[in-house]
Amino acid sequence: MTTIRRIQPLRRIAEILQAVLIIGIPFLTINGESALRFDIPSLRLHVFGISLWMDEFFLLLIALIFVTFFTFLVTLTFGRIWCGWVCPQTVLVDFTRFLDKAYSKGVAYRLISYALTFLISMIVAANLIWYFVSPYEFFHRLYSGSLGNIISGFWCVMTAIVFLNLLLLRRNFCATVCPYAKLQSVLFDRGTLLIAFDPTRQEECMNCMACVTACPVEIDIRKGSNAACVSCAECIDACSRMMWRRQKKGLIDYFYGSPGDRPRLFRQNVVLMASLTIVFFFLFLYLSISRVPLDMMVLPHYAFPPRILADGKVVNSYILSLENKSRTEKEVTLQAMRSKGLISITPEKVHLSAGEYKKVPVYVTVSQIFPWTTFEDIEILLESEDRDRVIIKRGVRFTIPNTQ
């Protein structure tokens, strides 16, 4: 017995899950930091427990390459599945479907639906801000009236943009503004999953137009694939309902390539794209896990040139540029070494707060020098003795001033 295809309830579930995820992620904290947030004051990106600094943005680049290949892979295999099931524009338009009836209803309905859309727009705009300012801080500042001009201004502008988009553009956004929609047709091949009308059963079509009426972008899928199609599957359900009356299967469905073709998931280009996706995923994972939480750069201390003390010892000074990229404070030990063993360095210990970057002047003293030398190559060592146990060595030149 034939049953009616009901894809829309599944799409609603996917859309609700997407909304919960996008709104919920900023509230999620891992190791005391937002799960996903770019902190503008410190220029740090927090990504699920990892904090990336500006000078580590190559990791972000690798993550972006991974996401790009993954998107290509999904598009090549499943077509416009993103557009139809979880794209924020699709979800928002579906959540504000009441607007579609606003023009044919009374003033009260219209006002309520506009007010509701404005409220949704405010939440969407605030949600966007939460990926830059923690929602906990946002609500605290909102409650205390100290949100500030920049955040308040951005919130107002974004609310207006989202509101106008939902009111005026709606599905037209996909066909006019969205760059991903334009890119997709280039990525499709003969085996990509598509929603299509089965031409082999053309004579069974009742010409009831239910598929066309149900289509939110008002296209007739029976005429073939159309770039404006957002893969919402409304036409599948509509046709299935009509054909069910005749106890027949719907004429519109998901097909890999053309109706009747066998699904070929392991195509050459799919395998290539999948391989690249996997390579960049593991590269990102490896580089993220193996990154060192401390960094040290040794710079010359121009305000303190090399000098010989009254007791004959030679002092050189350097500026250590220290960076604690971890979320815990660190006590680091400094040592200086020449080929003949340890030499004195002051200070020997430096405290670094979580996420702190500071410049520390250090003084290296050598007591025994050979009068015919003008410089020596020495090493400055930094060691943290916590569970991360980082050792960083930097070679520097120790200058012996000319005493003649």
Q: How many residues are there in the chain?
A: 404
Looking at residue 243, its amino acid is M
User: Looking at beta carbons only, is 133 or 221 nearer to ligand SF4?
Assistant: 221
Residue 214 or residue 296: which is nearer to ligand SF4 going by CB?
214
Q: Cα–Cα distance between 46 and 38 in angstroms, integer?
A: 6
Contacts 24+ apart (CB under 8 A), 333-336: 333/382, 333/383, 333/384, 333/385, 334/362, 334/380, 334/381, 334/382, 335/380, 335/381, 335/383, 336/364, 336/378, 336/379, 336/380, 336/381
Burial bucket for residue 149 (CB in 10 Å: 0-12, 13-18, 19+): exposed
What's the min distance (Å) between Cβ of 17 and ligand SF4?
Answer: 20
Cβ 60 to ligand SF4 shortest distance, Å: 34
Half-sphere exposure (Cβ direction) of 224: Cα atoms closer than 13 Å: 0
Among residues 201 and 327, whose Cβ is nearest to ligand SF4? 201
- Shortest distance, position 199 Cβ to ligand SF4, whole Å: 11
For the beta carbon of residue 187, count every other beta carbon within 10 angstroms: 18
Q: Give the Cα separation of 215 and 209 in Å (integer).
A: 10
Taking the complex as a whole, how short is the minimal distance between the CB of residue 244 and ligand SF4, in angstroms?
11
Least distance from ligand SF4 to the Cβ atom of residue 242, Å: 5
Of 79 and 306, nearer to ligand SF4 (C-beta) is: 79
Contact 322, 296 (CB under 8 A): yes
> What is the token pair recorded at 190?
């003969």
Smallest separation, CB 75 to ligand SF4 (Å): 16
Q: Which is nearer to ligand SF4, 42 or 226 (CB)?
A: 226
Q: How far is the CB of 32 from ligand SF4 (least distance, A)?
A: 44
Residue number with CB closer to ligand SF4 (26 or 216): 216
Nearer CB in complex with ligand SF4: 216/257: 216
Give CA–CA dist 151/140, Å, rounded: 13
If the CB atoms of residues 237 and 295 are measured against ligand SF4, the closer one turns out to be 237
Q: How far apart are CA 156 and CA 150, in angstroms?
A: 10
Residues at the contact surface with ligand SF4, assessed by CB under 6 A? 195, 197, 205-211, 214-217, 219, 221-222, 229-235, 238-239, 242, 251-252
- Shortest Å distance, C-beta 211 to ligand SF4: 3
CA-nearest of 69, 71, 169, 162 to 119 is: 162
- Shortest spacing between CB 231 and ligand SF4, in angstroms: 5
Q: Can you tell me the distance from the alpha carbon of 32 to that of 374, in angstroms, rounded to the nearest whole number?
A: 51
Laid out side by side, the sheet with 50-52 consists of: 36-39, 44-47, 50-52
CA distance readout (Å), 390 to 46, 52, 374, 382? 22, 18, 32, 8
CB distance 114 to 9 below 8 Å: no
Name which of 235 and 380 has its Cβ closer to ligand SF4. Answer: 235
Q: Angle between the 57-78 and 179-187 helix axes, to the nearest 10 degrees?
A: 60
Least separation in angstroms between CB 26 and ligand SF4:
31
134 or 240: CB nearest ligand SF4: 240
